[in-house]
Structure 1
Amino acid sequence: MVQFLPRVHDAALWTTRGPLPTVTPGPLLPLAEQAAGALRASRATIAVFEATTGGLVNAALQSAPGASAFTTCGAVTYSSRKGAPVLGADLSLPQATDADSYVASKQAWTQGLARAKRLETGATWCLAESGACGPTFQHTGLLTGFTALFISGPIERGILLRSAHAEREPNMWAFTKAALDLIVEAIALDDGGTGAPAAEEGGGVSIEAAGELLCVKEDRYGGVEIEVPASAAPIVSAARFERELAAALGGWQAAGKRGLWLRVPVECSACIAPAIARGFVYHHAQPGYAQLTRWLPTDQPSPLPAYAFTQIGVGGVVVNAAGEVLMVQERVAPMPLHQNSWKLPGGLADPGEHFADTVAREVYEETGVRATLEGIVSLRHTHNYRFGQGDVYVVVRLRVPAGGEEITVDKGELLDARWMSRAHIEALVERDPSAPLAGKVSVSNLKMISNALDGRLIVGTELPTSRGPVPTMLYTAGT
């Protein structure tokens, strides 16, 4: 689970510290014992990206027994430009022109890197480090070593450390010790300390204790799936959600993420308006949640797929032993022109229901007749149907064994149901498309019935699937 912070002024996250303690090079485990213990006790994970420490932070953490439980990944990128394949091009910065801007660039770089890589790796914490150890420096204004350390997680902290000397290896060890101490400090603050920096002047918002308002995971397409858990309902508010979402959006944009998918349960519907204000749009809704999306790239149109826009209906040409077809009159037809017309029994498929199961269920519910599938007859595709959706109407042929013709009409659904001969059906056809169909049969129903009685059937074959217990069906023309 990834938690996000409300946005505060970046300067409030940084402190400058010194002088550095002297660290004697030696075994790594004593350096990392406290950090490893804090990570283990809090069941947290960490990713570390370092430069001037040369991998000592990662090495120290991995020297602790059971390190695989809390270390995720990391890298040493001594040159940010040469490390672009690992860091991403978005994290490269313009070359500094003087000592002060060089130090400031390291602060901005580690802050952006920690935030971006935390989202990318899914770790609880991400620590980024970069600076200069000595003995020589790029800018004449730099005389001693320094490092910028930034940790991003349930709370964020940045420290700028200046050494009293320019000795390379002692600085590397001292910077490593400081990085490990920062991990301990951040975890302690998150565990009930005062993790909030001061509010911005002018009424800015201070950081609240980090809540679990956003559950996040990356998808396979460079996007992010976000869910507000229903369990957050007691603590959620529009203002709190807006702050956390705003902070998260900054990290996703910096990391080059693309499509965002946000699911909000009905218990947390207060989050919907702030999400829309941040550029999200509705994708679809179900009884228990609303799904929203946002496409982050501004230089290309969104390819995010639309929600399902076609419904599936099934009609049954039910034939008895005498060759008669079961016809029904709906109690309320979908269109006034069709009221009291004679049509095929059937209805809409439920989610996860095969054609054969749909029509057998509908026929039995409406008429009490039990029928078995013989095959699919035809498909009709109509656009701009109910709620503007498309409609695929699947016509199937079913057979009723001798003695199974007794009809029990469901008066909640139907006015009447009868067995009719083909000649009787043909005599009832209304060929004027604008005429009312009361007591009549439409031309389209006649054509579907004729195809079922005269044409070849499409048959289904089950295929294995990895998408759940319901098998996939392959429908092909019969011989």
Structure 2
Amino acid sequence: MKKPLDSEVFSSMLDASISYWRQQGKKGVWIKLPLELSNLVEAATKAGFRYHHAEPDYLMLVRWIPNNTPDVLPANASHRVSIGAFVMNSKREVLVVQEKYGRFSGIGLWKLPTGAVDEGEDICTAATREVKEETGIDTDFVEVLAFRQGHKSFFQKSDLFFICMLQPRSFDIQKQASEIEAAQWMPIDEYAAQPLVGGNELVNLITKVCLARFGGTYNGFSPQLTTSASGKQTFLYFNGHFP
């Protein structure tokens, strides 16, 4: 759908098309309506189409045609991906920030740099980018140490949160003025002693995993650039130990 169209004309065309698709044995139909054709949404929903997902410039609608078989059209993306960056220097100081906004703002909590992975962005790239954006520190990605899957978080979607270890290449902090209230290198013991770190089971466990990796008693998953069956380059994360 690209050219302007009257909604009544579209409705008539849609009815005829559905009849034709049913005769052909078609099951699932997708309609991609760009923003400028939003006048056709009502006609599509009256024809039995439902919302599937929306992007800034279009709305995707779908309809399952057969009445005697289950609707097996794949659902919209169910997860978002985010990272937490564990960066520690040779003095056993961890890179931490205080956020200006959100549920952790204004409570004095020093936390690891975190952020969402952009569409089409690799986890390892996102981790180094977020640290650079929030603190000005250049880093090398080392490993994925652990991950947590949460549910019913952002817009009722699930969330995959990857804890990543990075090696600092610079040490002079330049905090992000728009989102970060403060940033510093903090002794790891002082960081872990915070009530919302040591007193929270999940965050406390994450801290223990990070320290175990720094102490050499734990191994995470390092990225290896490889090629998928479709010919696209992708990262496989593994700990390098084979039986």
Scaled by the length of structure 2, what TM-score is found?
0.90
Aligned counterpart for 1:295 among listed residues 60, 64, 69: 64
Equivalent in the alignment of 1:373: 141
Match of 1:476 among 226, 229, 238: 238
- What is the aligned partner in structure 2 of residue 409 from structure 1? 175
> Does the alignment pair 1:244 with 2:2?
no
Q: Does 1:464 align with 2:227?
A: yes
**Equivalent-residue separation in structure 2 for 1:245 and 1:420 (angstroms):** 63
Counterpart amino acid of residue 327 in structure 1: V
Structure 1: where are the runs of 5+ without partners?
1-227, 434-441
Count residues with an aligned counterpart.
Answer: 236
- Larger relative contact order (Cα-Cα within 8 Å, sequence gap ≥ 6): 2
With over 3 angstroms needed to count, the CA separation of the structure-2 counterparts of 1:283 and 1:254, relative to structure 1, is same
Of 265, 271, 275 in structure 1, the residue corresponding to residue 34 of structure 2 is 265
The residue that corresponds to 2:54 in the other structure is: 285
- Separation (CA, whole Å) in 1 of partners of 2:32 and 2:231: 22
Shift of 1:241: 0.7
Task: Describe how 1:390-405 pairs up with structure 2 within 5 A.
Answer: 390-401=158-169, 404-405=170-171
Aligned partners of 1:332, 1:339: CA distance in 2, in Å? 11
Counterpart selection for 1:305 from 74, 95, 114 = 74
Partners in 1 of 2:7 and 2:65 — Cα distance? 22
Give the match for residue 424 of structure 1.
190
Secondary structure of the corresponding residue to residue 155 of structure 2:
helix
Q: CA deviation at 1:348?
A: 0.2
Contact (CA 8 Å) 2:96, 2:186: kept in 1 or not?
Answer: yes
Letter in 1 for 2:20: G
**Higher strand content, 1 or 2:** 2
The aligned residue for residue 179 of structure 1 is none
Tell me the percent identity. Answer: 30
Q: Please say if residues 97 and 112 of structure 2, whose CA atoms lie closer than 8 Å, have aligned partners that are also in contact.
A: yes
Q: Secondary structure at the match of 1:398?
A: strand
Q: Which amino acid aligns with 2:236?
A: L
- Cα distance in structure 2, aligned partners of 1:384 and 1:280: 26
Contact 1:425 1:446 in 2 (8 A): no
Alignment gaps of 5+ in structure 2:
213-217
- 1:293-346 CA distances to partner (integer Å, 9 max, x unpaired)? 10011112101110101100011001112221111111112x369843221102
- Runs of 4 or more, structure 1, over 2 Å off, are 335-340, 429-433, 442-447, 465-469
Question: Is 1:344 aligned to residue 134 of structure 2?
Answer: no
- TM-score normalised over the length of structure 1: 0.47
Measured against aligned partners, the alpha-carbon deviations of 1:263-295 in whole angstroms (never above 9, x if no partner) come to: 111111111110100000000000111101100
Larger of the two Rg values belongs to structure = 1
1:393 deviates by 0.3
Partners of 1:468 and 1:348 in 2: CA distance: 26
